[in-house]
């Protein structure tokens, strides 16, 4: 698995989700399996099969989260250079075609939330903006063609 970069808040949220799965979800599914097992013949027990399948899915999610936590790096925003767009940059961009301005924060894929203005560095817009300086125009490949976005400001 590759390294993922997180804000301190994003990393805390990831660890809380992992702990919730371990301490709440895992015992709940174990209880469901025990209840289904008590109902008799396991070969014809759909409840037991469903609980076992849910357990397998949960264990896969736990393993994935454990891997993410193990390979996570917390980013120290104070060490960043604001002359170029990097992960955790707060960027104001302007679309020269229609004059619309937007403000985005570039984050890891796991922390992306468009409603909150957080876009992934792996998204087309994120990739297009990375490394750009204020005043530069990024050509971004979108399904309808090439979209130009001018970097207006870069903040931390």
Cα separation, 112 vs 123, in Å, equals 9
| Chain mean pLDDT for the chain | 87
Q: pTM score > 0.85 for this model?
A: no
Query: Partners of 147 in the beta sheet?
Result: 140
Contact call for residues 6 and 69 (beta carbons, < 8 A): no
For helices 46-70 and 26-37, the axis angle rounded to 10 degrees is 160
What average pLDDT does the segment 49-77 reach?
89
Confidence of residue 58 (pLDDT cuts 50, 70, 90): very high
Please say if the pLDDT value at position 82 is more than 80: no
Q: What CATH class is the domain 77-155?
A: alpha beta
**Sequence-separated (6 or more) residues with CB below 8 Å from residue 95:** 101, 102, 147, 148, 149, 150
Sequence ranges of the domains in the chain: 4-74, 77-155
Q: What is the DSSP string of 69-120?
A: HHTEEE--GGG--TTS--TT-EEEEE-TTT--EEEEEEE-GGG-BGGGTEEE
Q: Among residues of the chain, what percentage have pLDDT more than 90?
A: 41
Contact call for residues 148 and 132 (beta carbons, < 8 A): no
Please say if the pLDDT value at position 73 is more than 80: yes
Please say if the pLDDT value at position 55 is more than 90: yes
Q: What CATH class is the domain 4-74?
A: mainly alpha
Alpha helix locations (H) across the chain?
A: 8-20, 26-37, 46-70, 124-129
Please say if the pLDDT value at position 1 is more than 60: no
Looking at residue 31, its pLDDT comes to 92
């Amino acid at each position: 698995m590759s390294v993922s970069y997180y804000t301190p808040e994003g990393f805390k949220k990831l660890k809380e989700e992992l702990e919730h799965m371990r301490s709440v979800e895992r015992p709940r599914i174990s209880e469901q399996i025990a209840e289904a097992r008590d109902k008799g013949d396991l070969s014809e027990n759909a409840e037991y099969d469903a609980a076992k399948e849910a357990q397998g899915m949960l264990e896969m999610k736990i393993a994935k989260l454990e891997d993410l936590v193990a390979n996570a790096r917390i980013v120290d925003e104070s060490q960043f250079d604001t002359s170029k767009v990097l992960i955790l940059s707060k960027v104001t961009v302007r679309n020269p075609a229609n004059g619309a301005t937007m403000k985005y924060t570039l984050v890891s894929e796991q922390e992306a939330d468009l409603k909150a203005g957080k876009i992934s560095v792996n998204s087309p817009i994120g990739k297009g903006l990375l490394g750009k300086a204020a005043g530069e125009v990024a050509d971004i490949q979108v399904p309808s063609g090439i979209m130009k976005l001018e970097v207006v400001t870069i903040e931390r």
